[in-house]
């Protein structure tokens, strides 16, 4: 991944004096505003955090994304949590699963060790903890969609075709996409068989060479199944050549034979030791964040082939790579960050948004290597299932660079409107005015809330006589109510 960029801390709003704050909160109490939140969240009492200026919420009645991205997660073949963990991973909002997981796909033989799978490390192979057949059985049992990545660093199109035959004909499973390689910008063993890999090799691949690999792979794989949908780039990885060049040359050489291109988004890069939470939160507004990289990637696709119907996937996303930010990534602090990323992704023209990673030593995973859930899992468990299929943009006036919001709508006999908001300011609450916003508050409105002081999410009723909602610092909240956005 690219080196971390310097990040500006989220700006602070002017604090009210304790006297004015007491008078203000007293007014809310007299007006009949109350919140079913745990104590100490900053929504009541004179000892709470200062409140920002009033922020008007404007929910658009027009959905900009009738087909929002499928949310998903990467699954690694080198760590197996067993049936109990997989049952927990079968969340209703996780639809897309990418196998065998990022960089591992470049050194994983799905058919090795009599079908158990072989993982190669510097030329030495070892049986995988769980097999492709096991993954296929589980994935099929929950009716998931899947991305299967074939190894391309070894530059063996014949082997890729064999994998298509093994999975589709041998195992009877048809992935949603077949992806050709992972992050070619990081390759150091290009064209070398697994048994001959060493840690000292530095055989890289250029974007034009990689485009040729994709061309050969497509021909071989489609000879087995002409109907497969192919992702032509599994993220570019860290390289002196920009991601746009990888996309353009891959699309230019393969055009209509591609169904999709994938990018990987880690706005904080590799991070650096000592980087504070405010600076990490600030990376959400950087040039490496979703709102910047997605339009650039789409532009690169269109410039290479304006008439091609090529989708864009983000099949890896999180805050940062590496271990420098483990102290941030392994705690609640990552939860508001991921909430903001999900909200950014929902409003963009992408097909899939897949977290890195389900389980492992990576601090941003949903589960540890031993199967213990991290705070990120609670976010996926309690917040994401409420989101509806139609996404509506939300405007905050004035706009706050540390506040993120999105609304969704479900339909049918019992339509439901949802508003999710994250306040990433570390010291000030945000006062949100919902009256007249287009969000249908009612006596049945529920609030799911999580703040840094709480051990986990809480859910209760929400009622406000004047439609005011004070969201504490460093917290996320989700309002859900029967009805439709107007």
- CATH code, domain with 134: 3.20.20.80
d(CA 309, CA 301): 10
Tell me, yes or no, whether 252 and 357 share the same domain.
yes
Same domain, 327 and 416: no
**End-of-domain residue from the set 332, 364, 386:** 386
What CATH number does the domain containing 403 carry? Answer: 2.60.40.1180
Q: Please indicate, yes or no, whether residues 404 and 373 belong to a single structural domain of this protein.
A: no
Q: Is the pLDDT of residue 147 over 90?
A: yes
Domain match, 254 and 362 both: yes
257 belongs to a structural domain: yes
For residue 453, name the pLDDT band (cuts at 50, 70, 90): confident
Residue 254's Cβ-count burial label (10 Å; 0-12, 13-18, 19+) is: buried
**Domain tally, the chain:** 2
The string of pLDDT tens digits covering residues 263-315 is 999 999 999 988 999 999 999 999 999 999 999 999 999 999 999 999 999 99
- Interatomic CA distance for residues 441 and 389, integer angstroms: 20
Length of the chain: 486
Do 398 and 304 belong together in one domain?
A: no
- Mean per-residue pLDDT of the chain: 90
For residues 288 and 267, is the Cβ–Cβ distance under 8 A? yes
Domain shared by 28 and 87, yes or no? no
Which tokens in the block code for residue 14? 């002017």
Domain containing residue 24: 18-63+390-482
**Rounded (5°) CA angle 213-216-217:** 85
Query: Quick one: average pLDDT of 422-436?
Result: 95
User: What is the arithmetic mean of pLDDT over 106-112?
Assistant: 98
Residue 12 lies in a domain: no
pTM: 0.90
Assigned domain for 13 exists? no
Q: Where are the alpha helices (DSSP H) in 121-156?
A: 132-141
Band of pLDDT at residue 66, cut at 50, 70 and 90: confident
Q: What is the pLDDT of residues 8-63, one digit of tens each?
A: 333 333 333 333 333 333 333 333 332 333 332 333 334 578 998 889 999 999 99
Omega prior to 287 cis, within 30 of 0: no
The whole-number pLDDT of residue 221 equals: 99
Q: Which residue has the higher pLDDT, 238 or 205?
A: 205
Confidence of residue 327 (pLDDT cuts 50, 70, 90): very high
Q: Which two tokens stand for residue 234?
A: 């599994």
Residue 254 near residue 218, CB atoms below 8 Å: yes
**One domain, residues 235 and 337:** yes
Which pLDDT does position 47 carry in this prediction?
A: 59
């Amino acid at each position: 991944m690219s080196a971390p960029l310097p990040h500006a801390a989220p700006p602070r709003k002017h604090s009210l004096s304790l006297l004015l704050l007491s008078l203000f909160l007293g007014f809310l109490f007299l007006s009949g505003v109350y919140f079913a939140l745990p104590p100490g969240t900053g929504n009541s009492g004179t000892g709470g955090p200062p409140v920002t200026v009033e922020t008007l919420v404007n929910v658009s009645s027009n959905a900009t994304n009738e087909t929002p991205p499928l949310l998903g997660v990467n699954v690694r073949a080198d760590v197996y949590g067993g049936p109990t963990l997989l049952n927990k991973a079968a969340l209703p909002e996780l639809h897309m699963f990418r196998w065998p997981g990022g960089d591992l796909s470049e050194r994983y033989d799905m058919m090795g060790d009599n079908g158990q799978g072989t993982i190669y490390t510097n030329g030495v192979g070892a049986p995988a903890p769980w097999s492709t057949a096991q993954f296929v059985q589980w994935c099929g049992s929950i009716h998931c969609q899947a991305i299967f990545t074939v190894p391309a660093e070894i530059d063996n199109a014949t082997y890729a075709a064999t994998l298509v035959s093994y999975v589709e004909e041998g195992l009877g499973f048809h992935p949603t996409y077949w992806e050709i390689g992972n992050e070619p910008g990081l390759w150091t063993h290009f064209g070398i068989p697994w048994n001959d890999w060493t840690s000292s090799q530095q055989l890289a691949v250029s974007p034009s060479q990689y485009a040729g690999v994709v061309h050969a792979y497509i021909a071989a794989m489609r000879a087995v199944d002409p109907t497969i949908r192919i992702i032509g780039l599994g993220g570019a990885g860290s390289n002196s050549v920009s991601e746009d060049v990888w996309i353009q040359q891959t699309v230019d050489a393969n055009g209509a034979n591609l169904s999709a291109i994938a990018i990987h988004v880690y706005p904080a890069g590799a991070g650096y030791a000592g980087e504070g939470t405010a600076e990490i939160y600030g990376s959400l507004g950087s040039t490496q964040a979703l709102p910047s990289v997605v339009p650039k990637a789409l532009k690169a696709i269109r410039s290479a082939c304006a008439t091609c119907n090529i989708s864009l996937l983000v099949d890896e996303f999180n805050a940062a790579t590496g271990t420098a930010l483990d102290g941030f990534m392994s705690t609640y602090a990552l939860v508001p960050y991921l909430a903001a990323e999900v909200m950014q992704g929902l409003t963009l023209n992408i097909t899939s948004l897949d977290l890195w990673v389900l389980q492992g030593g990576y601090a941003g995973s949903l589960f540890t290597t031993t199967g213990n859930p991290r705070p990120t899992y609670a976010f996926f468990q309690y917040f994401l299932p409420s989101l509806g299929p139609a996404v509506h943009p939300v405007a905050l006036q004035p706009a706050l660079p540390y506040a993120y919001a999105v609304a969704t709508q479900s339909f049918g006999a019992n339509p439901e409107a949802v508003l999710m908001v994250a306040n990433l300011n570390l010291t000030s609450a945000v006062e949100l005015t919902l009256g007249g916003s287009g969000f249908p508050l009612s006596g049945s409105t529920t609030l799911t809330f999580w703040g840094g002081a709480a051990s986990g999410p809480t859910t209760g009723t929400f009622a406000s006589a004047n439609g005011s909602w004070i969201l504490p610092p460093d917290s996320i909240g989700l309002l859900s109510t029967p009805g439709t956005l107007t």
